[in-house]
Structure 1
Amino acid sequence: MSLLFFKRVLANPLQVGYIVPSSPFLTRQTSRRLDFSKPRVVVELGPGEGCHTRKIVKRMDKNSRLFAFELDEEFVAHLRKQFAHDPRVTILHRNATEMPDVLAEHGITHCDYIVSGLPFLVIPEEARGKLLGSISDAMHEESRFITYQVTTQLCDESHLFELHDKEYCALNVPPINVLEFKKAQAAR
């Protein structure tokens, strides 16, 4: 665990959401779900210090794009420095509820993948509803929303998402579910 991550957890534990960064097992399990056989648009929500971001960027082809939404200013500065020389990566100090508008500002109507470890369980209900609506609005029928969560609570959001696949990653602290959703028929 980096000193930056430790400091940010102490400063705002609910916003960071986890007490340690994701394990290499989890980052591999998550990133292998993204198909880069052609150019893709990927959105990452709450990248923190960037352990999933680095794994995704390694797999991206030269024409893919990654938009990372992060609220913590220190994580944003760290990520901007880390990916300063990679034109495929855009680090945004913006709220993910603005995702469809931000993508539109970049000439993009929908993304192919949304990757998130945001702790949906602790996000207040109204904010969680806005965030999940924003995620759904940024997807098309082929898009995938890949999230790692302690609970399977998001499976209850069937008006927005349909569970496409589910795995369990025991080799993470805490052990965690990797959930892959597609946009629900009713939300299309």
Structure 2
Amino acid sequence: MKSIKFFLQYIFSPRKVGAVLPSSGFLADKMIESVEFHSARYIVEYGVGTGVFTDKIIQFRNPRTIVMLFESNKVFYQSLKERYKREANLIIINDSAENIDKYLEKYRIPYLDYVISGLPFASLPTEVSNVILNKTRKLLKDGGSFITFQYSLLKVSLFDQYFEHIDIQREYRNFPPAFVLSCQNNRISTQWKRCE
């Protein structure tokens, strides 16, 4: 059912959805493997879709951790509201991640430990990507991480403009195979660490 709903939304809005099928559990595991859930106080997810990454975040998070979800697609948003209605410390926003700063101010969230992103940066307008990445970089605490995935490395130079360290891993069991990029600004030496 999730796959059908996802595919229909892709047909209606291919640039915003960015993929024909939702991400796999294998990719979700890879996306969260570096998250220190016991100590994270604030986690944001961009482009939640059907909640594949969200399920993992909720499964492993500290119950006191505040999780904020951004989903601009109305159909996905309504589904998420119903699915997670009993979850405490979970805020679901029907808006673009471009407005992340407005919502952090509204809910008095002072910084972010992690941002986990399912946004299709390969198909987003450049100006939208730049706004999102610039605000994310500023809102992450020192040592915080922005974690995203891409189906190719063509956009790595975009993320390199905003983050000093990018750790790149490959998940072959996803369809199609994907690269997971964990990006930080913690003043360590600039490098790309590729783990195949």
TM-score by length of 1: 0.92
Between the aligned partners of 1:159 and 1:81, the Cα distance in structure 2 is: 38
Between the aligned partners of 1:84 and 1:127, the Cα distance in structure 2 is: 30
Structure 2 SS opposite 1:120: coil
Partner deviation per Cα, 1:110-144 (whole Å, 9 max, x = no partner): 11000012111111111111111121122121210
Aligned residues of 1:65 and 1:89 also touching (Cα < 8 A): yes
Between the aligned partners of 2:25 and 2:148, the Cα distance in structure 1 is: 16
Percent identity over the alignment is: 28
Between the aligned partners of 1:11 and 1:62, the Cα distance in structure 2 is: 36
What are the ranges of 5 or more consecutive residues in structure 2 without an aligned counterpart? 188-196
1:180 aligns with 2:169: no
Q: Which stretch of structure 1 is more off in the superposition, 7-16 or 155-164?
A: 155-164
Q: Which stretch of structure 1 is more off in the superposition, 57-66 or 118-127?
A: 118-127
2:8 corresponds to which residue?
A: 7
Between the aligned partners of 2:28 and 2:161, the Cα distance in structure 1 is: 28
Runs in 1 of length 4+ with deviation above 4 angstroms? Answer: none
1:45 corresponds to which residue?
A: 46
RMSD: 1.5
2:20 corresponds to which residue?
A: 19
Between the aligned partners of 1:67 and 1:77, the Cα distance in structure 2 is: 15
The within-5 A match list for 1:109-124 is: 109-124=110-125
Between the aligned partners of 1:11 and 1:117, the Cα distance in structure 2 is: 18
**Partner amino acid, structure 2, of 1:69:** F
Which of 160, 163, 170 in structure 2 is aligned with 1:161? Answer: 163
Between the aligned partners of 2:60 and 2:20, the Cα distance in structure 1 is: 27
Between the aligned partners of 1:155 and 1:146, the Cα distance in structure 2 is: 15
**Partner amino acid, structure 2, of 1:165:** D
Between the aligned partners of 2:56 and 2:74, the Cα distance in structure 1 is: 22
Between the aligned partners of 1:121 and 1:5, the Cα distance in structure 2 is: 18
Per the TM alignment, residue 6 of structure 1 is displaced from its structure 2 partner at its CA by 2.1
Evaluate the alpha carbon distance shift between residue 72 and residue 151 of structure 1 in structure 2; reply closer, same or farther with a 3 A threshold. Answer: same
Between the aligned partners of 2:81 and 2:111, the Cα distance in structure 1 is: 23
What are the ranges of 5 or more consecutive residues in structure 1 without an aligned counterpart? none
Per the TM alignment, residue 94 of structure 1 is displaced from its structure 2 partner at its CA by 1.4
**Partner amino acid, structure 1, of 2:133:** L
2:77 corresponds to which residue?
A: 76
Between the aligned partners of 1:64 and 1:39, the Cα distance in structure 2 is: 7
TM-score by length of 2: 0.88
